[in-house]
Amino acid sequence: MEKKIINLGIFGFGVVGQGLYEVLNRTKGINARIKKICIKDPNKSRPIDQSYFTTNADDILEDPTIDVVVELINDTQAAFEIVSKALRNGKAVVSASKRMIAENLPSLYQLQVENKVPFLYEASSCASIPIIRNLEEYYDNDLLNAVEGICNGSTNYILTKIFEENWSFDVALKEAQDKGFAETDPTLDIEGFDPKFKIVILLLHAFGTFVKPEEVFNFGISHLNDFDIQFAKQRGCTIKLIANCRRQNGNVNAYVLPHLVKEHNLLFDVYNEYNGILLESAFTDKQFFVGKGAGGTATGSAVLSDISALLYNYRYEYKKIKQSNSPTFTNDVRLKVYLRYKSPEQVDLTGFYNITEKYESPNYRYVVGTINLEKLKESKWLESKDVNLLVLE
């Protein structure tokens, strides 16, 4: 994009939109300016001049002087329609909408190919950590074995407060919401959907494999109770919600589950709203990335990084898709887990390959054993609030 100044059309002016506005105005080295911002509610008070705003999407999508469309809204279907139309109109697009991207990756990939325009979405995966760019550029020819880590700042903030400051779950959640890390409806975060959307995106860039979000099993932290916390502390562990994708035997598996993490693990010391990502490869062994994973300016900085990259005609090449060894997705993988429940009829232990530890008391029961991920994905007993699951290292 050979222009001295690029004009931006932005959709959405919430936490991330305002974060982008702030970092753009504080950064002197990027020749980009906001021309128009499309919002839903014209009567809502906003901290910048009202002349920026419109409620008509075509004021951005049909304006030939706008070079880059920046999509930052919460409505998944509307976001997809905006991005699709912008790409068809030949405009470069930057997005932070992980759910929209994860649910529409094949279509969005095809739109880029057909219209020969870039679509960048670094902010969709780990906010301030440039993980997609690294997978695309540094690891493009490396034989990756795994991508795993903490990629939801909201749940990591909650778990940090529970373990480091002995806060209750509800108090920690409320604080995360007050700070803008968690939504008013925190379901996508605490039930593990948000990191699932992110791992679906990372799967494509790491392994060249398209996977639908519903194929990936996610289980969050809302079932966590004091008994689980004591179990972890007695073993010198903390609990982290971890998204994982790993290549094994020509296949790749993925899931989002709470893990018992020991002190030697690099993820142990990732606190508050920070994210941490571990990459394992055949040639470089392990590499570790850490950075802020929630908040307006952290995500806004990733959006701005994509805008800056467009000035140099950057686009994703999706090299792993074009390689002949893209692995097939599977849920056929064994996990060692802690399963806590209240009464025997709540769970089915026959699916375990083995059980190495068992505990019973009037109030709680648990087992430690090995089970197939497919069994967990199919199980109904994890729907009970009296049942919780943790993966052991």
d(CA 279, CA 11): 33
d(CA 10, CA 46): 15
| Cα–Cα distance list, 81 to 99, 107, 211 (Å) | 14, 11, 21
Residue 67 pLDDT > 70 = yes
- CATH 3.40.50.720 residue window(s) in the chain: 6-134+296-315
- Reported as a pLDDT band with limits 50, 70 and 90, residue 249 is confident
Residue 148 pLDDT > 70 = yes
> What is the arithmetic mean of pLDDT over 311-315?
92
- CATH 3.30.360.10 residue window(s) in the chain: 137-292+327-392
Angle made by CA atoms 199, 205, 209, in degrees to the nearest 5: 80
Residue whose pair of structure tokens reads 């008070």 in the numeric block: 45
The CATH architecture to which 137-292+327-392 belongs is 2-Layer Sandwich (3.30)
Per-residue confidence (pLDDT) for residue 1, from 0 to 100: 61
Q: What is the mean pLDDT of the chain?
A: 93
Q: Helix 105-115 and helix 76-88: axis angle, to 10°?
A: 20
Contact between residue 382 and residue 376 where contact means Cβ atoms under 8 Å apart: yes
Residue 310 pLDDT > 90 = yes
Angle made by CA atoms 74, 202, 96, in degrees to the nearest 5: 25
Catalytic site residue 198? Answer: yes
Share of the chain above pLDDT 90, in %: 79
> What is the arithmetic mean of pLDDT over 37-56?
91
Listed range (55-64, 98-107, 323-332) with the worst mean pLDDT: 323-332
d(CA 341, CA 389): 9
Residue of 91, 98, 198, 240 with catalytic role? 198
What is the distance, to the nearest Å, from the Cα of residue 101 to the centroid of all Cα atoms in its chain?
Answer: 11
Structure tokens at 330: 């599977």
What is the distance, to the nearest Å, from the Cα of residue 30 to the centroid of all Cα atoms in its chain?
Answer: 27
- Reported as a pLDDT band with limits 50, 70 and 90, residue 2 is low
pLDDT tens per residue, range 10-23: 999 988 899 999 98
User: For the domain bounded by 6-134+296-315, which CATH number is listed?
Assistant: 3.40.50.720
Residue 263 pLDDT > 70 = yes
Half-sphere exposure of 235 (CA within 13 A, CB side): 16
Contact between residue 101 and residue 201 where contact means Cβ atoms under 8 Å apart: yes
Pairing relationship of beta strands 237-248 and 144-150 according to DSSP bridges: antiparallel
